[in-house]
Structure 1
């Protein structure tokens, strides 16, 4: 595992979250439980949106894309973390580390863009309800979703290129539980200011621009809702936007702390990463399903339709 100053690093050692074996075992079961809930929650949400015609609307189309990004985002990180929590040799090759970094950024940046798109959808729905069907057509939805995924890919390629183009000839010990740009830049054998500047500028594109769109959209939404005469209408409007705002605050807040603020302690960075890389993908489907009567109604419809058949109860024709 030793590397000389003249030898290019071919593999990295992920130091993980703790050196204590008992703590690692507890983290294994915690991460496993969170990951299973993440997979089941996002798959169930995508399934309900697919089978229930009442959910065939632009809002749920974007939500389905967000669930797919969440699922891929978590799957790229957590399974490997689970293996390393039970392994003595927490090694990852340079190529696998590069692939994990690229995919992590693709799905994470796509989530950022999708949350901005969803805020625009809510703005049009609440502020221009009469023109909503003509503005947010299915063609526009596909174009917006494709734009979100494309921007995620573009930003991730730039960030990954500026991170991995640096020479790594010194220490190969990553003080993290997965390959993330800030943790890798610390190990570079040369000046990293250019790469840090490029990553910061990409952060402006994929974090601050969507946040600006979200703030502008919700500023207009709040003005529109306050002007509503009906208290029930105001409550319904805030309830519709509440789930999206909760996800925005969680994901963007943690992302900005990691990529847009001065360097913090390694332990703080790892703790923040656990929340947005492991916990947030689990919370998204729970927030949208528990706070959304349409999703709960779709789930109730599926259960009541299939449960009698599962129990062997059949109605006579």
Structure 2
């Protein structure tokens, strides 16, 4: 007998007259609001306008919700379309069932449309959004707690979660306590969010690389969580379908990071001089991103000749020591 455990919620739906208020939906909405607000602050810190984030979210959020539901229905069609099931339930998004990679994929399409309308580079916006997106996932996972879903194998651990009989899997109907995999994933998502903020402040990865780090980190943690689950899932070559998707996405993120790495002779990040303002942003553009009219001796990573006198054709090296930052370029766009 388990002496300590996490209790199941007494209810996941509250009614205001005829209107049902579902905890699952509230968790998803709270995650979206937090993500939009935090992304707005991060985008403004990069020289953009925080209000642009709301305009982009108007496109990204609906696309993401549709994509998440489509992914779930396509990868588990027997839950809705086999004999005896009601196909209409495929639209019951409030009952749970949002596939993260469908949400990210189609949400990215919506974000791309919103960015195009604003003249914003999607890769730069994705970097600003990455920590906020994984934080939204951490919040949204608590919707699974209220729905009593996405738990793992039977467990006697003191933090195992008690699942009501109506929500237990058919293969273990007499087991009451299970691994709270939704909790593990939520904690991992919070860890990734903190790590992304630290990485961003220390190395300033740009051009979509911070987003790629988020993808790689999330999929690594998701693989561990999937290994603890024992609920229904379609399998291919012995692995759960979600494992294969995570593996492919993980490799894709690593390939992107390799392709977009800083090449020799470039400097995506430059340390400030000893006498410079410590508050000055050091996310310096690379040689390939510099203004073609800028003398290459003054681009980050190259020292100008101190004996050279400034002329109209050659600006003062000291005056041009601070090259345009990513934030400056985004603001100009």
Shorter-chain TM-score category? 0.3 to 0.5
Q: Which has the higher helix share?
A: 1
Larger Rg: 2
Normalization by structure 2: what TM-score?
A: 0.34
Normalization by structure 1: what TM-score?
A: 0.35
